[in-house]
Amino acid sequence: MPAIVEFYDLVSLLQNSSGKHFVLCDENTYKDCYKTFCKLIGLNIQSIVIKEGESQKKLDTCEYVWQTLLDEQAGRDALLINLGGGVVSDIGGFVAATYKRGIKYVNVPTSLLAMVDAATGGKTGVNFRGLKNIIGVIQPPELVIIHTPFLKTLPNQHLKNGFAEMLKHALLEGSEELHLLIDNVDTHAFYNDDIILKSLAIKEAIVAQDPNEIGLRKILNLGHTIGHAIEFAAQKNANNILHGEAVALGLIAALKLSVTKLNFNQNEADIIIDFIRKHYPTPTWIKLSHKAILNAVLQDKKNNDQQIKMVLLKAIGQPVYDVSCTLQEIENVLLEI
């Protein structure tokens, strides 16, 4: 696993590497984070800037970065530093893992979602022909640096986006972690270094046990089967929803199914669901889209035949993966949401 480290570790990595160094940013992180980053490490490193947003997570963008590296005569000893959210680290990780059969890369996440989730675990890649993350490799970064002051310029909606993944980690880990989050949300728990590092550590511990997602790592998909389907249906109907907002709704569905299928405590589920609903109201278009969402659930790459395998919870901190659910059961919870 990559070490979660301080900037001086990056400085020593840079000093000990003979090749050229580059910082990949998107237009926002170039504007809001790049100068601070250079100041923090006391060096000016050449930037490569791409447009912002999920729509840039495509092979064309990789080509642009590969081409820039070639133009700059980056050798196999080059180092790419990904300064940005999950879009930048997914693209940059994939570009680095494939350029000249692999150069080293470092993630410096600047969004909450990237800090607690996307920057670690080694999954990299891009979307292709409308399918999310379908081209990519698993290649861990050399280092990950968490610097929470970057969050000051992150739009509020994106803080909520990352917070949904923190909720997921806490549900997987235990009651104490969950209460630390939900009891402190009004004091902006997401700015708290300790809570962010704890959330990240939960993911890291799971990935360390199963880096290639053969078994246990699947639990990180809690809330994502229905969450991804909601994102997919939104895209098709030109509605907007952020990944974390869709995952939050997916968590509600998973909790409801956990109550009926695995005897998850009803009162606890109600408290958590109320909390999620308060912070992530269901958009009105979802009421009209439950058939489209169901279709997307069926197309999910993780399903065989008509069996829908989901991650559910026996209790907080007790996830079970590969629980078979019927389409009817899923339709019922979608109608309740």
Q: Which residues bind ligand NAD (CB under 6 A)?
A: 26, 28-29, 32-33, 52-54, 57, 84-88, 90, 110-111, 113-114, 117-118, 121, 123, 133, 150, 153-154, 158, 161, 243
Report, in Å, the least distance between residue 195 CB and ligand NAD.
Answer: 18
Nearer to ligand NAD, 114 or 269 (CB): 114
For residues 151 and 190, is the Cβ–Cβ distance under 8 A?
yes
Report, in Å, the least distance between residue 153 CB and ligand NAD.
Answer: 4
Nearer to ligand NAD, 30 or 264 (CB): 30
Query: Quick one: tokens of 237?
Result: 């109907």
Report, in Å, the least distance between residue 271 CB and ligand NAD.
Answer: 26
Report, in Å, the least distance between residue 330 CB and ligand NAD.
Answer: 22
Nearer to ligand NAD, 85 or 250 (CB): 85
Nearest residue (beta carbon) to ligand NAD:
86
Nearer to ligand NAD, 53 or 75 (CB): 53
In angstroms, rounded to a whole number, what is the distance separating the alpha carbons of residues 18 and 271? 55
Report, in Å, the least distance between residue 234 CB and ligand NAD.
Answer: 14
Nearer to ligand NAD, 84 or 319 (CB): 84
